[in-house]
């Protein structure tokens, strides 16, 4: 039976394609953004304990109270904002679910959502399924900063939502306090909802502070703020995240969430609650942990022909390969797997219309041994 697709521009994601290609060719996978090392021992032990204690059936729809309480405490200590445990925090099955739910709950057919390219690939499909359309604005290169004047000019009577991502995937760019000032001025007196993708919130380097929109009451009052335990605790396969939003937005968010997943992996919620209560040093020291990996990887690649862009945050390294080949980035990534046994992600996959820059994304959330072997292969190109 012929099917009229609702997502004509969507195929298998580039992350799945490159990971499968890496597996087929026994390549080192620096493409998809997941660690190749285990979560903390204390977290795995807490998960086992939660399972043995019987936390194996449905969790409360909004998330277990001890976890929501610990999230509230972390937000207060990190950003100086108090959020209501019962009415402003929802535990979700990963950040991607939270993003989908936020868009579905607040965006209607015929409306517009502003996104900043390059942007994560899950944003636009959710917008299109809501019957709305994305308005794409390019970030400035080479630093991937926001041209706020272009954002201002893109706003129309149809604009319902603006999606921002800091720290940014794929570039690692971060918002400054000045960016929050500009964002506040642009959205003041409007009915625009802000969706802030902050999944790399604890991976900001060189002593900088993560400028969460939760730091600004006027922004928090109109925002869905999304984060990820998977990114913070090296367990992306557990798919646990959360969304912070003021009560009116949370009410609408939970209406969708309850019919999408209803609840999230129950024993993991108890494990994360215990980690946050007993081991806050993990997220507090995460930036130092990944800064070491960033610096190590960049040093190992210093003898290569790649030009490395700055990495202020996150766990991805963008690299210009124009000294190696002049082909487009998709073909280069295919060649890289076959000829060097290395998997990367073409940055054009994050754009509606990609610029001419020849950039690929490497993930350095890997063991030191993996980074060493990967760098040796890349330096031979």
**Looking at 279, 298, 318, which one is the last position of a domain?**
279
Dihedral sign, Cα of residue 244, residue 246, residue 252, residue 258: positive
Q: Give CA angle at 216 (211, 219), nearest 5°.
A: 105
Same domain, 75 and 137: yes
Closest CA to 196 of 115, 257, 132, 272: 115
- Annotate 154-182 with b (16+ C-beta within 10 A) or e (fewer): ebeeebbbbbbbbbbbbbbbbbeeebbeb
Using only C-alpha atoms, the chain has a radius of gyration, in whole angstroms, of 20
| Residue 124: inside a domain | yes
Same domain, 136 and 261: yes
Same domain, 186 and 120: yes
Enclosing H/E stretch for 258: helix 247-260
| Residue 2: inside a domain | no
Same domain, 153 and 58: yes
Same domain, 269 and 371: no
Same domain, 303 and 235: no
Q: What is the CATH number of the domain that holds 373?
A: 3.90.1150.10
Q: What is the full per-residue pLDDT of the chain (381 aa) written as tens digits?
A: 788 899 988 888 888 888 888 888 888 999 988 999 999 999 999 999 999 999 999 999 999 999 999 999 999 999 999 999 999 999 999 999 999 999 999 999 999 999 999 999 999 999 999 999 999 999 999 999 999 999 999 999 999 999 999 999 999 999 999 999 999 999 998 999 999 999 999 999 999 999 999 999 999 999 999 999 999 999 999 999 999 999 999 999 999 999 999 999 999 999 999 999 999 999 999 999 999 999 999 999 999 999 999 999 999 999 999 999 999 999 999 999 999 999 999 999 999 998 888 999 999 999 999 999 999 999 999
| Residue 301: inside a domain | yes
Give pTM, 2 decimals. 0.96
Quick one: DSSP state of residue 350?
A: G
**Looking at 263, 279, 295, which one is the last position of a domain?**
279
Q: What domain count does the chain have? A: 2
pLDDT at position 107:
98
| Residue 298: inside a domain | yes
For tokens 């992350």, the residue is 15
Whole-number Å distance between alpha carbons of 35 and 293: 12
Domain assignment of residue 331, given as a range: 14-39+284-379
Whole-number Å distance between alpha carbons of 241 and 122: 15
Q: Which two tokens stand for residue 61?
A: 């729809």
Residue 327 · residue 335 · CB < 8 Å: yes
């Amino acid at each position: 039976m012929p099917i009229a697709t609702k997502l004509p521009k969507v195929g298998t994601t580039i992350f799945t394609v490159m990971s499968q290609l890496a597996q087929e060719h026994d390549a080192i996978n620096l493409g998809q953004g997941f660690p190749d090392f285990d979560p903390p021992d204390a977290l795995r032990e807490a998960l086992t304990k939660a399972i043995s204690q019987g936390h194996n059936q449905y969790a409360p729809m909004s998330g277990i109270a001890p976890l929501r309480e610990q999230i509230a405490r972390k937000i207060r200590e990190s950003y100086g904002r108090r959020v209501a445990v019962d009415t402003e925090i929802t535990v979700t099955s990963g950040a991607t679910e939270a993003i989908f739910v936020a868009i579905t709950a607040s965006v209607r057919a015929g409306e517009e959502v502003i996104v900043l390219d390059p942007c994560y690939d899950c944003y636009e499909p959710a917008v299109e399924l809501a019957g709305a359309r994305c308005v794409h604005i390019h970030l400035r290169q080479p630093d991937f900063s926001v041209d706020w004047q272009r954002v201002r000019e893109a706003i129309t009577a149809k604009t319902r939502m603006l999606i921002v991502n800091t720290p940014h995937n794929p570039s690692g760019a971060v918002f400054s306090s000045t960016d929050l000032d500009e964002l506040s001025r642009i959205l003041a007196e409007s009915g625009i909802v802000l969706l802030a993708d902050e999944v790399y919130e604890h991976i900001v380097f060189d002593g900088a502070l993560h400028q969460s929109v939760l730091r600004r009451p006027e922004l928090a009052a109109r925002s869905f703020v999304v984060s990820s335990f998977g990114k913070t605790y090296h367990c992306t396969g557990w798919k646990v995240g959360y969304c912070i939003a003021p009560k009116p937005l949370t009410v609408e968010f939970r209406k969708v969430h309850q019919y999408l997943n209803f609840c999230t992996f129950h024993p993991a919620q108890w494990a994360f609650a215990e980690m946050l209560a007993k081991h806050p040093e993990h997220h507090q020291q995460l930036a130092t942990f990944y800064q070491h990996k960033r610096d190590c990887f960049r040093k190992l690649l210093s003898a290569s022909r790649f030009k490395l862009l700055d990495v202020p945050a996150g766990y991805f390294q963008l690299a210009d390969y124009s000294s190696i080949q002049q082909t487009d980035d998709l073909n280069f990534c295919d060649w890289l797997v076959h000829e060097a046994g290395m998997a990367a992600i073409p940055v054009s996959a994050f754009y509606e219309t990609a610029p001419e820059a020849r950039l690929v994304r490497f993930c350095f959330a890997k063991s030191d041994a993996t980074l060493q072997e990967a760098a040796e292969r890349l330096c031979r190109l």
